Structure 1
Amino acid sequence: MNAPLAKPILPPRGASFSVSPHPDHHRIMHVTGERDALVGFLRDAHDIDVQNLEYVPFMRYYLADLLAKRLGENFAQTLVDLVKDRRHGGFTIGLQGLTDDPADFVKFGTAIGHILGPGNHDAMSGTYFARFVVKHTDDSDSYLRQAYRLFTMHTDGTFVSEATDWLLMMKFAERNAVGGESRFLHLDDWAERDQFVNHKFGTRPFLYKAPGSKNVSEKIERPLFFQSEFGLSISFIDQFVQPSNREEAEFLRELSASMEASIGTTEVVLPVGDLVVLNNYFYLHGRAPFKKNEALFRELMRQRGMFSQ
């Protein structure tokens, strides 16, 4: 079910970016902005502070406009097309070591996200993005920050009513980290998918309920598999789905195990200052365990949102 290796996409003449196949993944593309254009964007955005972005939603779109103007004709449309195209469904892009300022990372990620559309409210942080650290010790109530566990394959937004069309993850910092690679599974690369789609529980709604750390009290019922504008889609996370009996639990356990064992589940390395965007309807994502190290430190930013109408 694997797609052939992606071919480079040629941007229009005069554009300040290029698109090439990702070295780790046969579907995801890597977008490279010209360094001078990225420097220009950072200069344009220098006087915009992060609190202003948190408080004033239209400033997030202003950043998106600044980046799109610097990178040239068709940059914004190319990003949207890559995420909506089921053959790809995602891309990576980075700041190429031009800055290590976390505020610059927030601005760049905000610009990329708001080219796609409005960011969702992140209840964990209280704003439209969340920054979180993975380190040696952790006492949280989910796998998100637990470094030495396999963070199992899942989609985002399962336990909220607001649509989650896309997911953005950006790496801010990393020290003493071995392992912890991002893991992605495109629905069309999962060989055993149809046996779960066609199961009697495949399209039946399941209850989702978040733990306390998510600051979300609502309970949501949604089916595992469903049809969207992108075709066959999935919504699933093993930690928060609530089976009502042993038969449902066994189905969910087998489904999760199949995803983890799938040859379509691919590890991707994300350098500091790079971000990845995925279509949340037909990609599942997770994280490999780290090797134990008391000095382990990784900081990430998450944004998720909807496509502009």
Structure 2
Amino acid sequence: MTIIVEKQKGKFETKTEKYEINVHTQSDRLYHIELSRDAIQGFLNAVKQDNHTVQHLEYTPYARLIVASLLLEHVGEEFGELLRNIVHDRESGGFTIGLEGVSQDTDEYVMFSTAISYLLGSSNFDSMSGKYYARFTVNHTDNSDSYLRRAYRLFTLHTDGTFVDEPTDWLLMMKMVEENARGGESRLLHLDDWKELDKFANHPLANHKFTYQAPSSKNVDKEIQRLTFFNYNNKPGVCFIDQFVYPETIEEAKYLCDLSHSMENDESVIELELPVGDLVVVNNIFWLHGRAAFDVNPNLNRELLRQRGRFNQ
């Protein structure tokens, strides 16, 4: 039996034998979902019994939906609708969930994250990895052409999908491996909590289409024109990343610089603690995300998994 307790701002807590949903301890915008260990183990056993492998999921798109259905079999058919409702909800739009220590196998992490993502919608092709997801490491040294793998500098707040010509409605990030790491927290900002939103969303350049182009490592050659702010269900949506936008005038550059500086210094930015084996999902239309700098350590090793995609109609 599901127990629902109404909370402020329309929040709720849900508890069943298979899972529990509570408001996140670090933010009343987010939820934390705790699955029962029995349900997780049942899901992983079913995946093995059906002979699903990571390669099979990469090569056979419908297998990703089959894996999602196996998760529903072990947690309840209503679970997918609950996840979608959270991510669509403007007051929230995000949650964390994990494997509760049941597995440390990163292939099983891929299986679990795929089940979650395909309950939300469909993953976009990730040109950087050539797959429907990407796995990337952050180490002590790196020669990357973007801030994604640069450990010791702030990875500024942004939205995903700025330089691709397809909807990017949601984002999933899962911590796969972490060794000798201090700092590097995921930084999150809900658009409605940004103190200076109105100042920048009502600026004349808010409706200007800026050109975005990715560096070579992203394997995307096409230029894209994007509005910084747009209407999303009668409220502002945002599309921005400082690294890949190409303003044409000093005025445009100052607007973008001031916008980024304002977000980075907003008091509502969350620095999220995410254990290995946990993932965070946010609505990419009204959540911005980035990463704090790591403390210097020659033995630093972190691996993350990323999926991003669209809602299905």
TM-score normalised according to structure 1 size: 0.96
Contact 2:187 2:290 in 1 (8 A): yes
Letter in 1 for 2:187: R
Contact 2:145 2:217 in 1 (8 A): yes
In the alignment, is residue 258 of structure 1 matched against residue 256 of structure 2?
no
Superposition pairs for residues 102-117 of structure 1, below 5 Å?
102-117=106-121
Distance in 2 (CA, whole Å) between partners of 1:148 and 1:110 is 30
Aligned-pair distance for 1:10?
Answer: 2.0
Distance in 2 (CA, whole Å) between partners of 1:9 and 1:277 is 18
Match of 2:134 in 1: 130
Alignment partner of 2:55 out of 51, 71, 74:
51
Match of 1:37 in 2: 39
Distance in 2 (CA, whole Å) between partners of 1:106 and 1:118 is 15
Letter in 2 for 1:27: R
Match of 1:212 in 2: 216
Match of 1:28 in 2: 30
Unaligned runs of 5+ in 2: 1-6
Letter in 2 for 1:18: E
Distance in 2 (CA, whole Å) between partners of 1:74 and 1:15 is 13
Superposition pairs for residues 50-69 of structure 1, below 5 Å?
50-69=54-73
Contact 1:15 1:73 in 2 (8 A): no
Secondary structure (helix, strand or coil) at the match of 2:205 reads: coil
Secondary structure (helix, strand or coil) at the match of 1:9 reads: strand
* Residue identity (%): 52
Secondary structure (helix, strand or coil) at the match of 1:253 reads: helix
Distance in 1 (CA, whole Å) between partners of 2:219 and 2:85 is 33
**Pair 281,247 (structure 1): closer, same or farther in 2 beyond 3 Å:** same
**Pair 143,6 (structure 1): closer, same or farther in 2 beyond 3 Å:** farther
Distance in 2 (CA, whole Å) between partners of 1:164 and 1:101 is 28
Aligned-pair distance for 1:228?
Answer: 2.0
Letter in 2 for 1:236: F
Secondary structure (helix, strand or coil) at the match of 2:14 reads: coil
Unaligned runs of 5+ in 1: none
Aligned-pair distance for 1:229?
Answer: 3.3
Superposition pairs for residues 259-278 of structure 1, below 5 Å?
259-278=263-282
RMSD: 1.4
Aligned-pair distance for 1:6?
Answer: 7.5
Contact 1:163 1:306 in 2 (8 A): yes
Aligned-pair distance for 1:194?
Answer: 0.6
Match of 2:4 in 1: none
Match of 1:203 in 2: 207
